[in-house]
Structure formats: C-alpha cells, structure tokens
Amino acid sequence: MDPKIRTANIDFFYGSRQVLRKVTLDIKEYSITALMGPSGCGKSTFLRALNRMNDIIPKARLSGQVLLDGSDIYSAETDVVEVRKRVGMVFQQPNPLPKSIFENVAFGPRMLGINHRSKLEKTVERSLKAAALWDEVKDCIDQSGLALSGGQQQRLCIARALAVDPEVILMDEPCSALDPVATLKIEELMYDLKKEYTIVIVTHNMQQAARVSEWTGFFLSGELVEYGKTSELFKRPRDKRTEDYITGRFG
C-alpha cells in the first residue's frame, strides 16, 4: 500500500541552524505513528512540516519533499488552506477558542463557508461523538469551551480538528498537560480514530509511544535514527543510540 505521507530528504533550517537532516520516512494510512526523541531533536519541527505549520516562522527554510497521497504539499500549485484542512493538528496545551462548545467545533466548517444551522449541528454532533465528548457535553453545548476540564478541552480540540473532515491528524504532545485518566481517554480515542484517520503523534513519553502506536520513529539531533514497527523498536532496537535512549542510558 502506498504511504499516506512520504517525506523525502527533508532538510530544515531556522536561519543558519539546521534542525532536520535528510529525513526520509513513510507514514502508513490508518495507523498511528509516534515520533520520539529528546528535546531539540527536531521531532516537533518535523511534525509541523507535515502540514506547513512552519511556513509562518520567519527565516525558516525547508528542502526535500513532503508527499501527501503522492502530491508535494510544498509545490507552488498547492493550496495551503487545503493542506491544513486535510492534515489537522492538535497541540500540547488544549487551546479552545473563547466561544461556546458548539462554536468551537463549528468554527472550521464556518471558515469553509458552511453556515446552514442544521448542517452545522450534524457536523458538531458527529465530531463530538468521534472525539468521545458528546455524552459529556450534549446538555451544555452552548456553554463556554473554556469551562471544560483540561482533558475535555483537549477532546474538544480534537473534535474541532475532526469537524473539517481531515485525513491526517497531527498531535504534538497531546497528553503532556493532562492527568493519567484524561491521558488514557485520549489514548483510547486515538485507537478508535485510526480506523478512519491517519495519526502522527509526537511524544516525550516513551511508554505512551509504546502503548498507542504501531510505528515509531526515533529522532536525535535532527536525524531520523531509527524507524520501524513499535513492537520491534522497543524490544530489539537496531541502533545503539535508540537502545541507549529507550533504556535511559542517554547522555
């Protein structure tokens, strides 16, 4: 099967500082791929390169290719808005808009020109259900999204990402601000979501990578050191640097 996303020889620079070196990696459709590595290894930069979130950073420069279903998202003909619609993102800190729960989820579809109330209602309900939040908020859908707990806010952000019907969801440390119970809920949710979406998650938490993903990539100093089946990588890493990192002998 062709990969959902294929990156070929990505180099990435902030000014003169190179933060990614020749990263080549295939991301399988309908699977969860985890990217891990120490702080500053380039994993988040790599994640953001997958939907051109780095474009807004001054003096940032990328070379190489990011192919989404075979088309280069950095080519001149590509519509960035379309890319970000197809490749959604969830961030480390839950960041609901200061609006009602309903409007948080309806925000994306509205931006895409959908204003028909019943259509929006359907989308909001579907998205909140997919994000496993519907039952908890269906009776207070007009309350502020900011009134929810941290874990609920993160699921609201996932619902917001789902509302525009993405194909890929990028998650940058989605559980690092959450308690273990809320973390478990997000992990369960990811497991359900991968039936319909392709998920790429950056995590500092090795156990989380081991628990949730089928594929894991280990980054070090901007380089993809090892990439393979999660079960193999944690049992029998091929590279000594991976072994040192996952056994805590790093540094």
Partner 1 sequence: MPRQSFERHLHELQDEVLVLGSMVASATDRSMEALKNRDLELAKQVVSDDRKINRKRFDIEEMCLELLSTQQPMAGDLRIIVAVLNIIVDLERMADYAEGTAKIAIMIGDEPPLKPLVDLPRMAEKSTVMLRRSLDAFIKRDAEAARQIITEDDEVDNLYDQVFRELLVFMMSDPRTITRATRLIWVAHNLERTADRVTNICERVIFAVTGKMEEIAVSKY
Q: Which of 8, 38, 234, 241 binds partner 1 (CB under 8 A)?
A: 234
Q: Which of 143, 149, 231, 247 binds partner 1 (CB under 8 A)?
A: 247
Query: Does the protein bind partner 1 through residue 231 (CB under 8 A)?
Result: no
What span, in angstroms and rounded, lies between the C-alpha atoms of 12 and 225?
A: 16
Query: Does the protein bind partner 1 through residue 235 (CB under 8 A)?
Result: yes
Smallest distance from partner 1 to CB 79, Å: 42
Q: What is the DSSP letter of 56?
A: G
Nearest to 162 by CA among 122, 202, 135: 122
**The one segment of 2-10, 55-63, 106-114, 243-251 that binds partner 1 by CB under 8 A:** 243-251
Smallest distance from partner 1 to CB 236, Å: 4
DSSP notation for 109-164? HHHTT---HHHHHHHHHHHHHHTT-HHHHTTSTTSBGGGS-HHHHHHHHHHHHHTT
Query: Does the protein bind partner 1 through residue 175 (CB under 8 A)?
Result: no
Query: Does the protein bind partner 1 through residue 210 (CB under 8 A)?
Result: yes
Nearer to partner 1, 12 or 219 (CB): 219
Q: Which of 58, 98, 180, 248 binds partner 1 (CB under 8 A)?
A: 248
DSSP alpha helices (H): ranges in the chain? 43-49, 80-86, 101-111, 117-130, 134-137, 150-162, 180-193, 206-212, 230-235, 240-246
| Residue 221: CB atoms within 10 Å | 15
Query: Does the protein bind partner 1 through residue 251 (CB under 8 A)?
Result: yes
Contact residues for partner 1 (CB under 8 A)? 206-207, 210, 234-237, 242-243, 246-251
